[in-house]
Structure 1
Amino acid sequence: MKHTKVRDLLQSTTAIDEVSVKGWVRTFRNNQFIALNDGSILHNIQCVVDFENTPAETLKRITTGAAVAIKGRLEESKGSGQKYEIQVTSLEILGDSDPEKFPMQPKKHSLEFLRENAHLRVRTNVFGAIMRVRSVLSFAVHRYFQEKQFVYVNTPIITGSDAEGAGEMFRVTALPLDKVPTTEEGKINYKEDFFGKETNLTVSGQLEAETYAMALGQVYTFGPTFRAENSNTSRHLAEFWMIEPEVAFNDLDANMDLAEDFIKYVISYAMDNCKDDLEFLN
């Protein structure tokens, strides 16, 4: 039986006799109520276990972080806080979670703690919401430009261009760092490197996008960008994704109109499609 996303179950308009859902246990209380989340939505769905007819060994394995597969009936909830809940008829433990070792217990964690547990932090409400919003924003970027008939182009990540000095660059080399070849002048001999010249991680796809625009009319890039600027502020990142449209024959007014219309579009799209996540993050 194909499993259904928690998001779809919570947005259901009617009860369903048999559903299948898979996800991770957020909490389990009174040996009866499982708060289950699969990452598709901020909210959990409550799954009610018939603990009197469930083996004690199985109940012990329902711990925070455990992966489970549940089948049951989607019914109107008898409690407050949710419209629907699942009356469990079948429960399978897909992956155990040791409560003594699993770090993401149901309590508030500092961002520093989450940074140290990066492989699990997306299971928290904060990072789950951030990643869903980021996903929707990325889709909105492509949707906007595709609806405007822009051509999406992929520009090189490894490049010899400094994009008009847009920022400090990370160097890329295959030379042995313990014995770097040098020229007669004592400088690094990049002719012996992989590309035969000095190369770096891109700081911008501008140069390539401009050449494409001169043939395709209007193009955009949306990809990873790197800046070797050692500035520990929230406005300087070593790696980020940058959006760069290039349009042939545009004047300054047209560029300003494009930027304004684009920002309005992606923000409106996110507000329409990420209401719960944005309210939570606010």
Structure 2
Amino acid sequence: MKMNKIINLLSRNKSENNIEVYGWVKTFRANRFIAINDGSTILNLQCVIDFEKTDKSVLKRITTGAAIKVIGDLIESQGSGQKFEVKVNHILIIGDSDPDLYPIQPKKHSLEFLREKAHLRIRTTTFNAVMRIRSVLSFAVHDFFQKKNFFYINTPIITGSDAEGAGEMFKVTTQNYNTNNDVKEDFFGKETHLTVSGQLEAESYAMGLGNVYTFGPTFRAENSNTTRHLAEFWMIEPEMAFFNLNDNMDLAEEFIKAVLEKLTLKCEDDLLFLNNRYLNEQKNKPSNQRSEMDLIEKINFVVKNSFKRISYTEAISILKNSKPNKKNKFKYKINEWGVDLQSEHERFLVEKHFKCPVIIYDYPTKIKAFYMRVNDDNKTVRAMDVLFPGIGEIVGGSQREERLEVLKKRMKELHVDENELWWYLDLRRFGSVPHSGFGLGFERLVQFSTGMSNIRDVIPFPRTPQNASF
């Protein structure tokens, strides 16, 4: 007998006898109605058991969280809410679940509580939906780039370079704590860290393969306990040879729209559930903090609108003259050109001023990384950020600096060690070409797509300061 997935059973167009299905018990009502779920869909399958013909010892073991096997007949449901149900002919308890100990009982649990039970929270409807969406988005990323003939490359997790120049890196060592051993005696013979980005290595492969992308874990030793930061997260980083900044912006817009559109086509039931959850969450917020759009409207807002492109200088002018700035409503007031934009400024531009996603380009040199191409004005670089409703920046990228002497000058200004990045400079010595790329934090995309308010709830086992459980 063939095992069936619930998603396939519920999509059938006719009844069928003698089917076999496995799942975990969500609820057991009136000693008769068992709701089970196997993770294939947000929808539960109702299994109707004849308790008078079932051993009482078996009935007692049908508890929330228990794993069961059901053999029965798939019939049209007598009740509302589901198309089909299963009339149980035989039931087998595969794994018991003690109701006095199992923490994920059928009641409302706080997200804080569920983070402490991260190994079991996937059994809840919310996390089931979030992780299915994460999976679909992940596949959509690969699908987009593969169809465009990009090559997927795996960049090192352990590195001797700091791509961001931020210095917030996890050290990798085999030496004991509190020792002053020579670093040359360490495993790699030099100071090494967990990577903050695969960009620099991806650039080197773009110089031979043309168009490449990475999609892997990255790490930041940033001591931030916020709803927006993780110590371990996944980054999508394409790098393209012979691409200028406009090509880069075109690709970023096309990419984001494609993966979100795939999501709306593949995850309708999950999105409807999360949309209702999002609306209920918004009701509990002060009126001035509520979103003007629901979750599905926000996704369609990105998919169906053309992205507005403005220079950093234009953005500063708009913000400086805006009502919130003049009335001191911004937490960080815009007084002068050259300041870094905050999320509140980015969201104002997207949600209030342009009412569409925004790409800001040509940022001041002083607030951007060493590898970004310097413009002819020597004041700005060919950087770009993509801004979304609800969160602000979701993508950061640039045309990379392909001129050797200019790059060396920038590295010196920002105290980046040439000796450490000798190989990166070599890319400018041998067949250098204009090239561009961008980075997108995958969890930020999942957070946007699911409406979850805390980024710790869109990755299976979040890594944050003072927390590396599971």
> What TM-score, normalized by structure 2, do the two folds share?
0.58
Amino acid at match of 2:100: E
Structure 1 equivalent of residue 243 of structure 2: 250
Q: Which consecutive residues of structure 1, in runs of 5 or more, have no partner in the other structure?
A: 183-188
- 1:1-282 alignment, distance < 5 Å: 1-165=1-165, 168-178=168-178, 180-182=179-181, 189-282=182-275
Amino acid at match of 1:245: P
**Retained in 1: the 8 A contact 2:6–2:21?**
yes
**Retained in 1: the 8 A contact 2:218–2:235?**
yes
Q: Percent identity?
A: 66
CA shift, 1:234, in A, is 2.1
CA shift, 1:119, in A, is 1.3
1:39 counterpart SS class: coil
Structure with bigger helix share is: 2
C-alpha separation between the residues in 2 aligned to 1:140 and 1:212? 22
CA shift, 1:166, in A, is 5.0
Structure 2 equivalent of residue 185 of structure 1: none
| Distance of aligned partners of 1:232 and 1:87 in 2 relative to their CA distance in 1, 3 Å threshold | same
**Retained in 2: the 8 A contact 1:167–1:227?**
no
1:9 counterpart SS class: helix
2:222 counterpart SS class: coil
1:219 counterpart SS class: strand
C-alpha separation between the residues in 1 aligned to 2:116 and 2:211? 43
| Distance of aligned partners of 1:167 and 1:90 in 2 relative to their CA distance in 1, 3 Å threshold | farther
| Distance of aligned partners of 1:36 and 1:181 in 2 relative to their CA distance in 1, 3 Å threshold | same
C-alpha separation between the residues in 1 aligned to 2:13 and 2:189? 63
C-alpha separation between the residues in 2 aligned to 1:33 and 1:26? 11
**Retained in 2: the 8 A contact 1:166–1:204?**
no
Single out whichever of 226-235 and 240-249 deviates more from structure 2: 226-235
C-alpha separation between the residues in 2 aligned to 1:135 and 1:257? 25
Single out whichever of 164-173 and 20-29 deviates more from structure 2: 164-173
C-alpha separation between the residues in 2 aligned to 1:244 and 1:42? 31
CA shift, 1:171, in A, is 0.6
1:260 counterpart SS class: helix
CA shift, 1:214, in A, is 0.2
Structure 1: 4+ residue segments shifted above 6 A: none
C-alpha separation between the residues in 1 aligned to 2:165 and 2:10? 51
Amino acid at match of 1:142: H
What value does the CA root-mean-square deviation take over the aligned residues?
1.0
2:4 counterpart SS class: coil
C-alpha separation between the residues in 2 aligned to 1:166 and 1:248? 26
CA shift, 1:280, in A, is 1.1
1:68 counterpart SS class: strand
C-alpha separation between the residues in 2 aligned to 1:253 and 1:14? 53
Amino acid at match of 1:216: L
Structure 1 equivalent of residue 411 of structure 2: none
| Distance of aligned partners of 1:97 and 1:277 in 2 relative to their CA distance in 1, 3 Å threshold | same
2:19 counterpart SS class: strand
C-alpha separation between the residues in 1 aligned to 2:93 and 2:164? 56
CA shift, 1:181, in A, is 3.3
Q: Which consecutive residues of structure 2, in runs of 5 or more, have no partner in the other structure?
A: 276-470
C-alpha separation between the residues in 2 aligned to 1:278 and 1:243? 23
C-alpha separation between the residues in 1 aligned to 2:143 and 2:164? 29
Single out whichever of 87-96 and 232-241 deviates more from structure 2: 232-241
1:156 counterpart SS class: coil
CA shift, 1:235, in A, is 2.2
C-alpha separation between the residues in 2 aligned to 1:2 and 1:159? 48
Structure 2 equivalent of residue 186 of structure 1: none
Deviations 1:112-154 (A, max 9, x none): 1101111110000111111000000000000000000000000
C-alpha separation between the residues in 2 aligned to 1:266 and 1:248? 23
C-alpha separation between the residues in 1 aligned to 2:39 and 2:149? 33
